[in-house]
Structure 1
Amino acid sequence: MRALVLSGGAGTRLRPITHTSAKQLVPVANKPVLFYGLEAIADAGIREVGIVVGVDQAAEEVKEAVGDGSRFGLDVTFIPQDAPRGLAHAVLISRDYLGDEDFVMYLGDNFIVGGITPLVDEFRATRPDAQILLQHVPNPSAFGVVELDENGRVVGLEEKPKQPKSDLALVGVYMFTPVIHQAVRKIEPSWRGELEITHAIQWLVDQGYDVRSTVISGYWKDTGNVEDMLEVNRSVLERLEPKIDGSVDDTSEIIGRVVVEEGAEIVGSRIVGPVIIGANTRVVDSYIGPFTSVQHDCQIIDSEIEFSIVLHNSSIQGVRRIEASLIGHQVQVTPAPKVPKAHRLVLGDHSRIQISS
């Protein structure tokens, strides 16, 4: 059995971060969200993994970060996709790599607590033509939605419907036998101009193939926007095991589950966990509150921050107070001049900012 991991896409909901970085490499508790998926695949006993990437700088970043996959116990092959043309298109272009083997398709920006091992084991044991995972969501219009009959059988799928027929959303993990290759060749592009995996699965249903579903009750998030990314970060940090490998001076206070990685320095500061401070990061005369992850080589001086993610090589100095924020790498955050009373902004395309007047 192989795995197909999708790591392309423009990541428009995470702009401006994704103007310069792959969305799958945005860290959760200081580890790229993509890595959690690769670890889950390895834990399920799968060794051969194809990763679908774009043909841009973000793709090169993914290749560099993942390498040959040996760090995860995997044998990784990268499959280029010239443009985001839909999940079914990713299957279509991966035909030669997948051959006639069963496979798991895993969306690289999805996060599932507890991994996928039991689900893969069930698929291997029963081997339906397709196995899909579902979860009840409050906003089904934002997802692929599945309709079940009174016996729990899949009868209909629709991509981001305006009037959903259920609240069951497709989780970003699918399991297929080779029959899916026939399905993706039979469908036409949707109104979005993409080959939708929902249409391919619907084709299997219409043709009488065995399509089964499992409603999961565990934690799942599509980390495609800032709010969900922060929520996943919170969830992972809640299971953090405290560990102090860096230096903490006598005037600092460490409360709760806090990780201070090697080379990090905490001076005259108060850290209230769960918090992770990356290697070689310096925190001076500051407060870092719960559910915050700060990557390596950052500086936080005379500032306050909580429920946030700070990427590597960033600096926050003299700022009170930051919360619910995603701060990119090599960012400088400083106070605005007191006079004149005006806001000076340098923002990336499609940014969103809230200012108290």
Structure 2
Amino acid sequence: MKGILLAGGYGTRLYPTTKAVSKQLLPVYDKPLIYYPLSVLMLAGIREILIISSENHIGGYKSLFGDGKEIGLSIEYAVQDKPKGIADAFIIGEEFIGSEDVALILGDNIFYGLQLSKLLMDSVENLNGATVFCASVSDPRSFGVIEFDKNGNVLSIEEKPLNPKSHYAVTGLYFYDNHVIEYAKSLNPSNRGEIEITDLNNIYLRKNKLKAKFFGRGMAWFDSGNCNSLLDASQFIASIQKRQGLYIACIEEIALNKGYIDLSQFKSLIKNYENTEYGDYLISVAKEKEGV
């Protein structure tokens, strides 16, 4: 399976902060926002990744990650000239996806939880059509809202409904089979002039090929597209890391634990973070692996 990380858009909800910098390069506590969705793809076992962003910001991601080889990945880049909807990512990424299945994650989404890695790997291994992830929210009117029957089967998905049929919002993480390319191409733009991810999901729903998985208690999801949610996410990350002494979305550590790089390669990365707390954490990970 391949992965697409969509880091486009104008970030207008964060103006003036994002007038000169991409939203996904803003810090969430001690690392760039984009580290968090990238780590999710890595935890799912995905190593071939396409980052999509605007012409103005794509260079920042290339400077940050390069070709991804340092952390055992293969990272490519593509430009979205203007926001055309989330589903547009599959049209832009058609050549990259090729004949494989694909996961898509939004660049401003953060996920955390003890069972996250297991949930992701299970979704990759048992994909049959499309899988979306949902979480309970207090006010679902700003999201795609998913309705279930008593057996947990999906009945409907509505985009930003005035009268939501449930409190479950569809998060910015999706897994699709290879038919997603042709389905995305068949979509007509909405009133917003975008091809909507909800319309794409409804195609799978009509074909009885849409599965939804829940982020329940003990799982955290942040849609960090505005100042308040960005602050909430930073405070959450800081609290967990300070209490546990374990870093969230440390992509070098994930690469080591997943076997994408060996300990020697991991140790060579530490020099990039000399005299930083992040570097100190990497040193502690290396020592633990060596049994020091």
Whichever residue aligns with residue 102 of structure 1, its letter is D
Which segment drifts farther, 197-206 or 122-131? 122-131
- Give the drift of 1:39: 2.3
| 3-state DSSP of counterpart to 1:239 | helix
Q: CA–CA distance in 2 between the matches of 1:95 and 1:34?
A: 22
Matches within 5 A, 1:81-96: 81-96=80-95
Query: Any unmatched runs of 5+ in structure 2?
Result: 246-272, 281-292
Task: Find the counterpart in structure 1 of residue 136 from structure 2.
Answer: 136
- TM-score, with normalisation over the residues of structure 2? 0.79
- TM-score, with normalisation over the residues of structure 1? 0.65
Whichever residue aligns with residue 17 of structure 2, its letter is I
Is the 8 Å Cα contact of residues 45 and 121 (structure 2) preserved in structure 1? no
Is the 8 Å Cα contact of residues 8 and 54 (structure 1) preserved in structure 2? yes
Say whether 1:240 aligns with 2:241: yes
Q: CA–CA distance in 2 between the matches of 1:146 and 1:61?
A: 35
Q: CA–CA distance in 1 between the matches of 2:179 and 2:116?
A: 22
Task: Find the counterpart in structure 1 of residue 149 from structure 2.
Answer: 149
- Give the drift of 1:14: 0.8
| 3-state DSSP of counterpart to 1:78 | strand
Matches within 5 A, 1:1-357: 1-56=1-56, 58-114=57-113, 116-206=116-206, 208-217=207-216, 218-241=219-242
| 3-state DSSP of counterpart to 1:178 | coil
Q: List, as ranges, runs of 4+ consecutive aligned residues in structure 1 with deviation greater than 6 Å.
A: 276-279
Is the 8 Å Cα contact of residues 44 and 124 (structure 2) preserved in structure 1? no
Query: Any unmatched runs of 5+ in structure 1?
Result: 244-260, 265-275, 280-357
| 3-state DSSP of counterpart to 1:100 | coil
- 1:83-105 Cα distance to aligned partner (Å, 9 max, x none): 11001111122111101111110
- Give the drift of 1:125: 3.1
- Give the drift of 1:219: 0.4
- 1:190-234 Cα distance to aligned partner (Å, 9 max, x none): 11110001101101212x242100110210001001111111111
Equivalenced residues, count: 249
More strand by share: 1
Is the 8 Å Cα contact of residues 132 and 213 (structure 2) preserved in structure 1? yes
CA 1:277–1:17: 2 relative to 1, 3 Å: farther
Q: CA–CA distance in 1 between the matches of 2:49 and 2:278?
A: 31
| 3-state DSSP of counterpart to 1:190 | coil
RMSD: 2.3
Higher relative contact order (CA 8 A, sep 6+): 2
Whichever of the two has the greater Rg, that structure is 1
| 3-state DSSP of counterpart to 2:37 | helix
| 3-state DSSP of counterpart to 1:104 | strand
Q: CA–CA distance in 1 between the matches of 2:92 and 2:202?
A: 20
Whichever residue aligns with residue 229 of structure 1, its letter is L
- Give the drift of 1:237: 0.7
Whichever residue aligns with residue 136 of structure 1, its letter is S
Which segment drifts farther, 223-232 or 29-38? 29-38
More helix by share: 2
The alignment-based identity, stated in percent, is: 33
Which segment drifts farther, 168-177 or 155-164? 155-164
Is the 8 Å Cα contact of residues 41 and 116 (structure 1) preserved in structure 2? no
Is the 8 Å Cα contact of residues 39 and 72 (structure 1) preserved in structure 2? no
Q: CA–CA distance in 1 between the matches of 2:240 and 2:177?
A: 35
